[in-house]
Structure 1
Amino acid sequence: MGTRLQVVVRTLMGICAGLILAGCAEDVGVDQYGRKVPAERLEGQWLVINYWAEWCAPCRSEIPELNALAVQLEARSVRVLGVNFDGLSGTQLSTASDAMGIDYTVLAQDPAARYGLPANAVLPVTYIVDDQGQMRERLLGEQTAAGLAARVQVLRNGG
């Protein structure tokens, strides 16, 4: 009887340890409003990561397309993320993203190192990252929701 109890206790301790560790998963940082962006919220999803700046005219016209894409693809495990090219953070980032009309998550910390994104000096630039966290494509210039949705679909199908 004592051995069975030990097995049950060890099993419960293992489950509890797993739950505790799962709760300690690394955050990707915070969004434009200072809310934590947990890594598990993005894991296993395709990501469309767009770099933008207030002074970039094509970025301004591209943002409504990205807003539409975020809504269109949310149910298909695709997340649209923004990153401010100028490295704004805090109140400056929330003010700029609100002024630009961005409805999707804007990361305050650049995720380039996390996803192996190359440095870029041209805007706008959009990266497509697969559900394994690997960059699959870099798209320079202004994008449309239809074009990005089609590209993600081709890549998901092995293209």
Structure 2
Amino acid sequence: MKHTLTFTLVLACSSLVSMAQGNYTIKGNLKGQGNERIMVKGTEGLITVEAKNNVFELTGQAGDEPFVTSVNTGIDRNLYLGGGKTGMYQPPLPLEIVLTKGANLTITGSALDLNLASVTGDALNDSFTAFRKAEETLTKQMSGLQKEMVESRIMGIKDAMNEIAPKMMENRKALSASRKKFIKEHPDAFASVYYLSMTARDYSAAELEVAYKGLGSTYKNTSYAKGIEAKIESQKIIEAGGPAPDFTKPDVNGKPVSLSQFRGKYVLLDFWGSWCAPCRAANPRLKELYAMYAAKGFEILGISSEKVSGQAQAEKMWKEAIEKDGLTWTNVLNNEVSMKQDLVQLYGIEGYPTQILLDKEGKIIARWMGAGKQLDDKLNSIFNNK
């Protein structure tokens, strides 16, 4: 009996060790967190825990390869754009971390600056912390400029945009340069693979290919690396004015919609979001153009990317904006759970709104960022000069 009991205990302990190796643990101490919630998007859904006197701990199940996800706090860090807390707002940047089997991570920093917190515990997260440190000054500068812009708008200072916008553009260029520098100088870091996949739009197809070839081989079997390879090929097509990459996304009724089903019509891909004031301001003119040219073979396919946590909230804001703005063309959402294609990455979207016009064969005719007269002029030349 003793031998049987011993053998049973050994099996039980082995099973527990195996289970523990599949789990990750996150411990944290964030100044100003208090007793508010901490949320982590795990591989199997959202994990929420309440902190106690700034301290928290949570566990979850990890997958077979490194999984980059976000940590958020229940503390209100939104940047409100006027109209109080019921009006439009810009959500704060989350803290990006890497989840792997058996990881024991420690998060330290400030709750209000959660996106800049330090994450230690393994080489993958050490590389992410080093990446954040390299651009911390520029990130804080951009945050300050955004707040200054909002305050000026609320106060009705008309010339604020002319003064602050150029500074924001310079900051974005500096951030892009900083990220490229980090990736080049840290070819073996997992952060370099991940952030190259996230910033592929800052490279031409040839530049992206060179940057990717310069990376070490350690993480080139991950989905992030495979994504870069796909982007290189798609960007070559886009730059050559070839066929736009096909995709399938859910519409407002949850029905899958593919780009390829619009062949035979001129199609405008309108990248927008309910949170984007310039996008919403452009919708009345888009409605006029749609009314003018729809019968002649013009179609609009709206692609919304909502800056919120969770698909349910994304769908709510997206559908409310469609109804309020009276958009009658096909709209799809780029926030679905287990997203297989991120269209913002696939099409290298740098800002909102971005409009991409396709011909009847699905080839790219033109592309613009912002809403101006370019679309009006192009549609006029296509439909009124035949």
Q: 1:59 to 1:38 in 2, by over 3 A?
A: closer
Q: Which residue of 1 aligns with 2:331?
A: 106
- 8 Å CA contact 2:275–2:306 kept in 1: the answer is no
CA drift of 1:27 comes to: 8.6
Aligned to 2:351: 122
- 1:1-159 equivalences under 5 Å are 28-37=248-257, 41-86=261-306, 90-109=315-334, 112=343, 118-143=347-372, 147-154=374-381
SS at match of 2:270: strand
Please identify the structure whose Cα radius of gyration is greater. Answer: 2
Provide the secondary structure at the position in 1 that maps to 2:274: coil
Where relative contact order (Cα < 8 A, 6+ residues apart) is larger, the structure is: 1
Per-residue deviation, residues 86-115 of structure 1 (Å, max 9, x unmatched): 2766455323322343222112357949xx
Paired with 2:326 and 2:295, the residues of 1 have a C-alpha distance of: 22
Deviation at 1:39, TM superposition (A): 5.7
Report the CA distance shift for 1:111/1:156 in structure 2 as closer, same or farther (over 3 A): farther
Deviation per CA, 1:30-69: give whole Å up to 9, x if none.
3223344366641111101111112221111101111121
Q: CA RMSD in A?
A: 3.3
Per-residue CA deviation, residues 100-145 of structure 1 (Å, 9 max, x unaligned), is 43222112357949xxx6311211111101111111211111235x
Note the residue ranges of structure 2 that are not aligned, 5 or more in a row.
Answer: 1-245, 335-340
Distance in 2 between the 1:39 and 1:49 partners? 9
How many pairs were matched up?
128
Sequence identity percentage: 22
SS of alignment partner, residue 299 of structure 2: strand
Could you say if the C-alpha distance between residues 108 and 56 of structure 1 is closer, same or farther in structure 2, counting changes exceeding 3 Å? closer
The letter of the residue matching 2:269 is I
CA distance 1:56–1:40, shift in 2 (3 Å): closer
The residue type equivalent to 1:60 in the other structure is: R
Contact 1:128-1:152 at 8 Å conserved across structures: no
TM-score (norm 1): 0.63
SS in 1 for 2:362: coil
Match of 2:16 in 1: none
Partner Cα separation in structure 1 for residue 255 and residue 279 of structure 2: 24
Give the structure-2-normalised TM-score: 0.29
Give, in whole Å, the separation in 1 of the partners of 2:296 and 2:342.
22
| Aligned position for 1:19 | none
